[in-house]
Amino acid sequence: MILILDFGSQYSQLIARKIRSLRVYAEILPFYAPLNVILKKAPGGVILSGGPASALQTKAPTVSKKLFDLDIPILGICYGMQLMAYLLDGKITRGNTREYGRSEIRIQSDSALFKGIPDGNTVWMSHGDSVGKVPSGFRILAGSHDCPVTAMGHKTKPLFGVQFHPEVHHTQNGLRILKNFAQNICREKRTWRMSAFVDKTIADLREQIKGRKVLCGISGGVDSTVLALLLYKAIGKRLKCVFIDNGVLRKNEANTILARFKRIGIPARFIDASRRFLEKLEGVRDPEKKRRIIGKEFVDVFLDQLGEKDFLAQGTLYPDVIESVSVKGPSATIKTHHNRVKEILKLEKQGRLIEPLKELFKDEVRELGRELGLPEDVLKRQPFPGPGLAVRILGTITPERLRTLKEADAILIEEMKNAGFYHKIWQSFCILLPVQSVGVMGDERTYENVLAIRAVQSVDGMTADWVPLPARLLSRLSNRIINEVKGINRVAYDISSKPPSTIEWE
């Protein structure tokens, strides 16, 4: 296995995921894990993750220097590389500004780490400090225009450092670099399988739940469907699935989802709570407030179904956790996820919260679902946020605006499916803006709503690129939406990527 020591980077889990995608088991420990705990795991290699600290600051997060003398291959990424350089008496240059974004590397020495990586390879950087001078015994493996030591390696020991992030999608051949490390340098065998995860999780769930019951909310999304199926396989009829209509679902969604569960063979209870959600949302503009209201109402309706001794299961994925709580301080809160409201945290403290997907990314969940035998149309369903259309109606939510967005979105989904794009991309959806603009219809001047269309490609939702949909499709979408949906007289197309934008507009 490969052990990742986490220094608070929001990409640590992504490193683990990428290594697991190579069929090599990877696990994360906090950077302060004692050396004997690390050794007990008998790792074939160790990765020191990135992190927001500076190796030069007092009380910088660190590891025991002895780690570098054990002959275990080590790869430092970003902060991990700086820390390695600092501890082995190299020089760190303090950065006044952060270098952020794409950069091209110039390979300077042959190394096992960069085997098969072409000169000029694009990499993704996000750092302030950098290595000014490599420690003795090391050489520079690659440099770039703004960062002379972009990668370093020891001349005789299996110690490596890269300033960039090989784990993120924007680094070309990033997986190849991790593969070189895991397979060629650490000599790990490709033996890990998703079926191993299924067996272990089902056994763990049975052990944890014993004879008790589990309440599981389903949304129709991939995550909650996979979760329900996993639980159903583990505990059968002791699973209580509930589907709540929160009033901000897409057109016909409730029926479609209930029919699907019936088909899969898992009993599910339907609760129409739309009125109570919409009453609470009346007049609310602030997206964070909308999220909090929906989260709270959901929990209230949902917890009503929770027996005194029941467990609560949630399909929380890793990105939900990383984007809503700060990991040891450094990763800032980006937005509130309903998976982490007060009541849920209380259940977590009582040991009654079950989140078996917490370490996985979306594509891993899809693979898991496939392993469990879910049909492709369920697995390839685009992600839909918990707070639903509430975060896609900017400004206040009224029944009229909800109807407008539902109609427009239904047209978009239909056209995307017809054009063969729906299953090919990460997400495509409409956003109703709190903006009106002038138009003409017939001889009349209109003053109506602007609707935005967003289509993005992404591997895990952490980063995303906007999709250049064909002009003919865009034109058809715009024509149909403006002609068929009352209240919209202008359609705009969103051409922003994440970062710096996010996928949802909120």
**Any idea which residues carry the catalytic annotation?**
78, 165, 167
- 3-class state of residue 107 by DSSP: strand
User: Least distance to ligand XMP from the beta carbon of 383, Å?
Assistant: 4
Intra-chain end-to-end CA distance of the chain, in Å: 40
User: Least distance to ligand XMP from the beta carbon of 98, Å?
Assistant: 21
Instruction: Using CB under 6 A, pick the residue from 171, 172, 427, 449 that binds ligand XMP.
Output: 427
Instruction: Using CB under 6 A, pick the residue from 43, 220, 287, 461 that binds ligand XMP.
Output: 461
C-beta separation of 115 from 45 below 8 A: no
388 part of the interface to ligand XMP, by CB under 6 A: no
Which C-beta is closer to ligand XMP: that of 45 or that of 385? 385
387 part of the interface to ligand XMP, by CB under 6 A: yes
Instruction: Using CB under 6 A, pick the residue from 276, 280, 480, 498 that binds ligand XMP.
Output: 498
Instruction: Using CB under 6 A, pick the residue from 17, 165, 290, 338 that binds ligand XMP.
Output: 338
C-beta separation of 505 from 492 below 8 A: no
Contact partners, residue 348, CB within 8 Å, separation at least 6: none
220 part of the interface to ligand XMP, by CB under 6 A: no
Dist. CA 108–CA 149, nearest whole Å: 10
User: Least distance to ligand XMP from the beta carbon of 499, Å?
Assistant: 9
| Beta-bridge partners for 28 | 4
Judged by CB under 6 A, the number of residues near ligand XMP is 12
User: Least distance to ligand XMP from the beta carbon of 494, Å?
Assistant: 12
217 part of the interface to ligand XMP, by CB under 6 A: no
C-beta separation of 64 from 230 below 8 A: no
Contact partners, residue 346, CB within 8 Å, separation at least 6: none
Which C-beta is closer to ligand XMP: that of 18 or that of 337? 337
Which C-beta is closer to ligand XMP: that of 140 or that of 391? 391
User: Least distance to ligand XMP from the beta carbon of 173, Å?
Assistant: 25
504 part of the interface to ligand XMP, by CB under 6 A: yes
Which C-beta is closer to ligand XMP: that of 180 or that of 324? 324
User: Least distance to ligand XMP from the beta carbon of 498, Å?
Assistant: 5
CA nearest neighbour of 488 among 399, 374, 394, 407? 407
Interface with ligand XMP by CB under 6 A: which range of 59-67, 122-130, 162-170, 382-390? 382-390
Interface with ligand XMP by CB under 6 A: which range of 32-40, 45-53, 404-412, 496-504? 496-504
Dist. CA 380–CA 423, nearest whole Å: 6
Which C-beta is closer to ligand XMP: that of 73 or that of 220? 220
CA nearest neighbour of 450 among 441, 440, 438? 438
Which C-beta is closer to ligand XMP: that of 169 or that of 338? 338
Which C-beta is closer to ligand XMP: that of 18 or that of 340? 340
Structure tokens at 352: 């009654």
Structure tokens at 161: 């450092």
Dist. CA 203–CA 295, nearest whole Å: 31
292 part of the interface to ligand XMP, by CB under 6 A: no
**Residue 226, burial from CB neighbour count under 10 angstroms (0-12, 13-18, 19+):** buried
Instruction: Using CB under 6 A, pick the residue from 143, 383, 395, 439 that binds ligand XMP.
Output: 383
Dist. CA 397–CA 401, nearest whole Å: 6
386 part of the interface to ligand XMP, by CB under 6 A: yes
Which C-beta is closer to ligand XMP: that of 183 or that of 382? 382
Cα–Cα distances in Å, from 90 out to 59, 69, 87, 138, 269? 18, 16, 7, 9, 62
Window 51 to 110, contacts with ligand XMP (CB under 6 A): none
Contact partners, residue 262, CB within 8 Å, separation at least 6: 268
Which C-beta is closer to ligand XMP: that of 157 or that of 358? 358
502 part of the interface to ligand XMP, by CB under 6 A: yes
Element (H, E) at 14: helix 12-21
246 part of the interface to ligand XMP, by CB under 6 A: no
* Site pattern 318..337 for ligand XMP (x: CB under 6 A): -------------------x
C-beta separation of 411 from 481 below 8 A: yes
CA nearest neighbour of 83 among 49, 117, 122, 36? 49
C-beta separation of 74 from 158 below 8 A: yes
User: Least distance to ligand XMP from the beta carbon of 256, Å?
Assistant: 18
Which C-beta is closer to ligand XMP: that of 465 or that of 504? 504
Interface with ligand XMP by CB under 6 A: which range of 18-26, 262-270, 373-381, 385-393? 385-393
385 part of the interface to ligand XMP, by CB under 6 A: yes
* Site pattern 189..208 for ligand XMP (x: CB under 6 A): --------------------
- 3-class state of residue 2 by DSSP: strand
User: Least distance to ligand XMP from the beta carbon of 442, Å?
Assistant: 38
How many other C-beta atoms can be found within 10 angstroms of the C-beta atom of residue 282?
11
Tell me the residue ranges of DSSP E strands in 112-237. Answer: 122-127, 130-133, 138-144, 151-154, 159-162, 214-218
Dist. CA 273–CA 258, nearest whole Å: 15
Angle, alpha carbons 425-367-370 (nearest 5°):
100
Contact residues for ligand XMP (CB under 6 A)?
337-338, 383, 385-387, 427, 461, 498, 502-504
